[in-house]
Amino acid sequence: MKLTTINPLQYLRKLGRLFWLMVVLPTAIAIIYYGFMATDVYVSESRFVVRTPERQATTTLGMILGGAGFARADNESFAIQNYVLSRDAATKLDQTLGIKAAFSDPAIDIISRFPGLEWWDDSFENFHSYYQRKVHIHLDAASSVATLTVRSFTPELSRNINLSLLDQAETLVNNLNERARQDLIRYAASEVDALGEKAKAAALALAQFRTESRVIDPERQASILLQQIDRLREDLLSTRATIQLIEGVAAQNPQLPSLRDRAALLEREIRTVSLSVAGGERSLAHTAAQYQRLALDKEFADKLLASAMNSLEQARNEAQRQQLYLERIVQPSLPDDAMEPRRLSSILAVLALGLVAWGVLTMLIAGIREHVD
């Protein structure tokens, strides 16, 4: 029995043009590009977390369950994530590091460099899209640790971009802190100014009322007058008792007229003092209601002003502390070897995809021909 040898080229010819088009040609292009043309890509990675001071619990149970420390600041982390990928960050990097020119270096292969195959579009908008493909930031929802990854074609540029983005993120955090501090102090100061004006107006109203009514403190003055009335009544009772005693012994005693005049004078004095306490619009009882209302307004305004001043002091103390902290967990690395492109795996991936596409198309064509026949 004679064995026949199969020539690989003859076998490939039998596979048809579709195999050459879907498998051989893409694989050959991948071998040429990844094997000889693709520029090495260096990846720099850093990790950070944004924290805020955790406020102390005010209850005993809260102090037992949650001690002092740092709480997560997820909103600020998302803000940093958006900023890192923003046009502002790309503009800042281009101004400081000249990244647009660096990514447009002719030494980089035409597919990887900017603007690449879109040679007609050299706008910054297009570069911003290109920049977003080179910078990636991932925020872990469980730990709130953000991972910043930068890809470029030199190790130094990757690390410098990573460092600059972290510096910009810290500047953003500081700006957020400063804005929050200024807003807090400004609001507290405006409250103090407004309540200070109200307290001043209440004090002036009370002083004007005292001047017009000629009353310093109605309650205290009424108390003094009531004590005076009590003394006058005691004196009146004593005088009347003396009159009765003398009338019982000597009705014609020459002291009786003077004693009766004294009793009448005491009665008039008692009526006069009683009317000044409670007897008309100018009495102390009438002015006490207005005085008390003005005094309560002043006391309430003073308490509000004291509370606002305490809040302002707390705001200033709080403003002296940094509210947000960007902690670098892992500093930007200086890659010593190119991590991308993965040449062999990329070539094998192209080969596998080509075989899958060729197989699917072959089956479709065979099915169509069988249906036609």
Mind spelling out the 3-state secondary structure of 318-370?
Answer: HHCCCCCEEEEEECCCCCCCCCECCHHHHHHHHHHHHHHHHHHHHHHHHHHHH
Find out whether 284 and 221 touch, Cβ atoms under 8 Å: yes
User: Per-residue pLDDT averaged across 249-272, rounded?
Assistant: 74
Least confident of 13-27, 56-70, 94-108: 56-70
Q: CA-to-CA distance for 103 and 20, rounded, in angstroms? A: 35
135-183, pLDDT tens digit by residue?
Answer: 999 988 888 899 999 999 999 999 999 999 999 998 888 887 777 677 6
Mean pLDDT score of the chain: 77
Q: Determine the CATH number of domain 40-184+321-357.
A: 3.30.1890
Output the six-digit token pair for 29: 């292009």
Residue 220 has pLDDT above 60, yes or no: yes
Burial-class residue 259 by CB neighbours within 10 Å (0-12, 13-18, 19+): middle
Pair 54, 324: CB distance under 8 Å: no
Is the model's pLDDT at 373 over the cut of 70? no
Q: Which of 314, 53, 43 is nearest to 162 (CA)?
A: 43
pLDDT in tens, 318-359: 666 656 778 888 899 898 888 888 888 888 999 999 899 888
Question: Helix, strand or coil for residue 24?
Answer: helix
Task: State pTM to two decimals.
Answer: 0.61
Residue 273 has what pLDDT? 62
Mean pLDDT, residues 199-221:
68
Tokens of 227: 């004590």
Between 209 and 200, name the one with better pLDDT: 200
